[in-house]
Amino acid sequence: MTGALERAGLAILGRLDPETAHALALKALRMGLAPLPGPVSSPRLATRLFGRDLPNPVGVAAGFDKQAEALDATLRTGFGFVEVGGVTPRPQTGNPRPRLFRLTEDRAVINRFGFNNGGLAAMQARLRAPRPPGVVGVNLGANKDSADRLDDYVTLVRGLRGLADFLTVNVSSPNTPGLRGLQDRAALDELLAACAEAAEGAALAVKIAPELDETALRDVAETAAARGVSAIIATNTTLARVGLRSVHASEAGGLSGRPLFEKSTRALRLLAGMTELPLIGVGGVDGAEAAYAKIRAGASAVQLYSALVFGGVSLGARIARGLDALLARDGFSCVADAVGADLRGA
């Protein structure tokens, strides 16, 4: 019955403007009008990341719940962890609408939100509210009109340390002009050094773009390790438009979903050969096979967001159960044993 109701809900939402549909989906989650089975787990799925125990390695990526408005419910949908945001120090409205597009034929999404959010104070208030057990991260960004972007990140780290299990330094959104320049080695080193000092031991991740070449990926890997970063998230959305069929293919913004899978997995695989840091694979995870491929390519965990547009919030639980079956099929006793299996020829 729950599956039929979710499919009916998705059909209705699919007829609406995508941003309106997104807001209604979050409202339905808050009201309990969605499958809420609780964390899906097994001895094979249980893993550890950011010094925290995860029931499974399948997470919600930043962008799904920008304001942490449905955090309680999202933690009950079956995912192993949740990342909210992106948040900036000051509230900002983001780019003009329309700024979110479904590419149904391509199982993809283009967004150019521009870090629309209620700011640091609103995020702090929501994270201080009681919530169910679960691992929660916050994605950090800079205000579009900021005079000092490094200070923006430091302000966010100081304001959110202790309120979340990890903080993601997002230097890869394509929708804030100039932000991706912070991935350059010198700029990234200065930024991560400042954030690490401000974090006072809190776990930090850094999220990178899929367009980085091997030299740039090695720079990120070495800089992140040197500055005590806990994980690298690979990757954010892409600006590429290859082989798309949708009428929305030419819209400006970051492309996510199925077309990003190969590019993001290539970056992940290269990073896995460059660093011992845990990696989180993002981009095109829309089923258990895709999640498993990311893990075998070097990811300790995966995240998804765009696939929820087409598969509903129950998708996380379905992927986790499917992943459990795949691990069992191939004789892995736990997720950690499968991480990087393709690199080892296992």
Phi, psi values for residue 117, rounded to 5°: -170, 170
DSSP 326: H
What is the pLDDT, as a whole number, of residue 114? 97
d(CA 46, CA 336): 9
Q: Phi and psi for 153 in degrees, rounded to 5?
A: -65, -40
Let me know: does 257 contact 103? Beta carbons within 8 Å. Answer: yes
Q: How high is the mean pLDDT of the chain?
A: 97
Indicate the domain borders of the chain. Answer: 2-344
**What was the pLDDT predicted at 266?**
98
- Evaluate the CA torsion angle 167, 173, 176, 181 in order and state its sign: positive
Q: How many Å apart are CA 117 and CA 136, to the nearest integer?
A: 18
Residue by residue, DSSP assigns 247-269 as TTTT-SSEEEEGGGHHHHHHHHH
Correct CATH for 2-344 of 3.40.50.300, 3.40.30.10, 3.20.20.70, 3.10.20.600: 3.20.20.70
Residue 2's pLDDT band (boundaries 50, 70, 90)? low
Kindly state the DSSP code that residue 312 receives in the 8-state scheme.
Answer: -
Q: What percent of the chain has pLDDT over 70?
A: 99
Q: How far is CA 33 from CA 27, 68, 81, 174, in A?
A: 9, 17, 20, 33
CB-based contact 81:166 (threshold 8 Å): no
State mean pLDDT over 114-131: 97
Average pLDDT estimate for 37-57? 97
146 is catalytic: no
Mean local confidence (pLDDT), 72-83: 96
Percent of the chain at pLDDT exceeding 90: 96
pLDDT surpasses 90 at 24: yes
Cβ density class 333-344: b for 16+ within 10 Å, e for less: eebbebbbbeee
Given a contact cutoff of 8 angstroms between Cβ atoms, the answer to whether 173 and 141 are in contact is yes
Which one of the listed residues 41, 146, 172, 173 is annotated catalytic?
173
Each residue's pLDDT tens digit, 241-283: 999 999 999 999 999 999 999 999 999 999 999 999 999 999 9
Please name the residue that has the structure tokens 């967001």. Answer: 305
**pLDDT tens per residue, range 145-200:** 999 999 999 999 999 999 999 999 999 999 999 999 999 999 999 999 999 999 99
